[in-house]
Chain A
Amino acid sequence: MSRLAGLFAELAQKNRKALIPFVTAGDPNPQFTVPLMHAMVGAGADVIELGVPFSDPMADGPVIQRASERALAHHQSLRTTLAIAKEFRKTNGHTPVVLMGYLNPIEIMGYEKFADELKAADVDGALTVDIPPEEAGELTALLKARGVDPIFLLAPNSSAERVQKMDAIGSGYLYYVSLKGVTGAGHLDVADVEAKLAEIRANTKLPVAIGFGVKDAETAKTVANLGDGVVVGSALISQIEANLHSPAQAKQAIIELLTSMRQAMDN
């Protein structure tokens, strides 16, 4: 069983929901990320989504775009992001790490080498924003052969047929995102999400993490009640952006936010 499958099974038994922070590797500098990952685990993170910076992040809003630009200014790349994951794994053997990014860096590295490198870094999952299941056959086969979960996105207007496609090709979990906007833009309509989740569950047994509109402890709790996991990204990165003069302060603000979310989700 993969680390992700094991984690979601364990959480389900305990009737807990996964807290999944997203940060961009190398933002605001490459030294910041590994200690931040450990600190986020300490604050209650169950899975870490590690963003691979890309020059053209088409599906991301301004907050994550700027995170990418800050990281790229330090030449953060897919290769150095894999190195960060490897470094994290040296002292944490249990928390799943998912790499999230765009396809071109993987195309240039080569699919097989990418899959090998993920395995070598003991990364658990790969979410590639711009590769839909129709184009993903070769990549997912290489990932699965190495025990890496390919993770796919679902949108509010993904049809039942598309959910079945993701279910067939994806593993680990499915990531339900906002349609109405890029990352960081969504506002939460609880009734809509609830209805959609019921439809999704009818077509997949995979855990579903929900990733939009999660800004604070209250929205984290609301979203936790709807799915199996809560992804929080832009709200964390906003703390980095608000404290560019002091990365230590940024880290502290992120930890406080995650701690409050964890508490709200567990009570």
Chain B
Amino acid sequence: MTEKYNMPDERGHFGAYGGIFVAETLMPAITELNAAYQHYMHDADFVAELDKDMQHYVGRPSPLYHAERWTKELGGAQIYLKREDLNHTGSHKINNTVGQALLAKRMGKTRIIAETGAGQHGVATATVAARLGLECVIYMGAVDVARQSLNVYRMKLLGATVVAVESGSKTLKDALNEALRDWVTNIDNTFYIIGTVAGPHPYPAMVRDFQAILGREAKQQCLAQAGKLPNALVACVGGGSNAMGLFYPFIDDADVKLIGVEAAGDGVETGRHSAPLCAGRPGVLHGNRTYLMSDDDGEIIETHSISAGLDYPGVGPEHAWLKDSGRAQYVNITDDEALGGFYALTRMEGIIPALESSHAMAYVMKLAPTMKQDEILIVNLSGRGDKDMQTMARREGIEL
């Protein structure tokens, strides 16, 4: 790459992807948000407040941890974990909600809404809403409410109203539909905190910018600890915010491989998966053009993954662009393989990863042995596995 990477364009396009595809009723709100975002991202006061919160409230920087035992076991590349699991609330999601909530406050909004899949984004949103004293409503598919009851309880403790969405497939995409409907209805006082790098512009760029702190840290930490840039980055991709946060500061470093790991569910060949980049096609949903899981009639297909946070039929438009341009590579990991990653990290390093992050761990187990011992692989440990204890125990036939 000769020119410096500068996506998206002013209308939010990443090549053919991204853009603003919403009903006219939402356009004024999107325009207002975009203006505020463009302004405050360059406002010294705002940036200083954000930096302070990232340090003292979120607990940044998160460590870059050299997993020496696991590295030896796999016998290839040196494996470093970016420890987003150690953030307040247990995942990378808080980086973005702290940023958007500060923006909401500056814009004078008094009510926060959000969608959530695994509940990590919902918890991170309820957390910042509690801290700022803002009313908070979280939309969550009824299926996810059932399989992530611990996070539902956390959100309620934090003072949020959790709405179980019963329409469609009752998962993350339906929660997003319902949140959009709420936003149209309550546009004057409500700020919609989207949790991933998808949705209408400016969300994909804005969420990426708030998450990019983890990639910038990883770059500095890697240079400080190993004296050179990594050879490869690995991160799981549902909507793709943790991957985009890690990849973005490295896009112009052409020698650093970027690898996103999608959820293959029962296996991509079975059709029961959540891997639009690997096995979907371009289309338009939730405000942006991107790779989607849709049938020949353009209806959205139900997705499948053991991990609620990856159970989404779309993906951020910047990932679609990175795939088509060849800058990033996207692979997929089945439910069973992800469980292998989950147990491996737990027992080799004493770190219990979230099921989402376990997909990235499982790919590390395939990739690391193919790399040389003087090569470096950074994997984003995007969240911790506490929320998945019930799911895992149940799989083992244990009732907690």
Contact = CB atoms under 8 A, between A and B. Distances in A.
Q: Do A and B come from one complex?
A: yes
Interface of A: 54-59, 61-62, 65, 69, 72, 77-79, 102-109, 129-132, 134-135, 152-155, 157-159, 162, 177-182, 185
Given A58-B286, A61-B181, A77 B300 contact: no
Given A56-B300, A65-B167, A132-B20, 9 more contacts: A59-B23, A69-B168, A72-B299, A106-B298, A107-B284, A108-B298, A130-B287, A135-B21, A180-B187
Given A56-B285, A58-B180, A134-B20, A77 B27 contact: no
Contacts of A57: 177
Count chain B CB atoms within 10 A of each CB in A78, A104, A178, A182 and give the residue with the most: A104
Given A107-B284, A108-B281, A130-B21, A58 B181 contact: yes
B21 A103 contact: yes
A108 B283 contact: yes
Given A79-B297, A182-B181, A58 B20 contact: no
Contacts of B289: 107
18 contacts: A55-B299, A55-B300, A56-B168, A59-B181, A69-B168, A72-B299, A78-B298, A79-B297, A102-B284, A104-B283, A107-B289, A107-B298, A130-B287, A159-B28, A178-B25, A180-B187, A182-B185, A185-B185
Given A58-B286, A155-B27, A108 B20 contact: no
Contacts, number: 111
Contacts of A129: 23
Given A108-B283, A130-B284, A179 B299 contact: no
Nearest to A108: B298
A106 B283 CA distance: 9
A182 B23 CA distance: 10
What does DSSP make chain B's interface, helix, strand, loop or mixed? Answer: mixed
Interface in B261-292: 281-287, 289, 292
B24 A105 contact: no
Interface string B288-308: 010010101111100000000
B315 to A, nearest CB: 14
Contacts of A106: 298
B319 interface: no
A62 B168 CA distance: 11
A125 to B, nearest CB: 16
A181 B182 CA distance: 8
B22 interface: yes
Interface string B330-354: 0000000000000000000000000
Given A59-B23, A130-B23, A135-B19, A103 B185 contact: no
Contact of B300 (A104, A134, A155, A179): A104
Interface in B84-135: none
Interface string B176-193: 110011001101000000
B284 A180 contact: no
B173 interface: yes
A132 B287 CA distance: 10
Nearest to A157: B28
Contact of A108 (B11, B21, B296): B296
A59 B27 contact: no
A57 to B, nearest CB: 8
B184 A181 contact: yes
A15 B304 CA distance: 56
A153 B24 contact: yes
Contacts of B184: 59, 179, 181-182
Contacts of B177: 56-58
Nearest to B173: A56
A59 B168 CA distance: 14
Nearest to A152: B24
Nearest to A174: B24
Count chain A CB atoms within 10 A of each CB in B20, B173, B177, B300 and give the residue with the most: B177
A176 to B, nearest CB: 10
Contacts of A155: 24-25, 27-28
A153 B23 contact: yes
Contacts of B23: 58-59, 129-130, 153
Interface in B299-324: 299-300
Contact of B285 (A104, A159, A178, A185): A104
A54 B21 contact: no
B171 to A, nearest CB: 12
Interface string B5-44: 0000001000000011111110110000000000000000
Contacts of A162: 24, 27
Contacts of B300: 55-56, 104
Contacts of B299: 54-55, 72, 77, 104-105
B90 to A, nearest CB: 29
A30 B297 CA distance: 16
A65 B168 CA distance: 9
A158 B24 contact: yes
B25 A59 contact: yes
Contact of B20 (A77, A78, A135, A181): A135
Given A104-B283, A105-B297, A179 B187 contact: yes
Count chain B CB atoms within 10 A of each CB in A61, A152, A162, A179 and give the residue with the most: A179
A54 B177 CA distance: 12
A194 B11 CA distance: 33
Nearest to A162: B27
A179 B25 contact: yes
A62 B287 CA distance: 20
Contacts of B181: 58-59, 61, 182
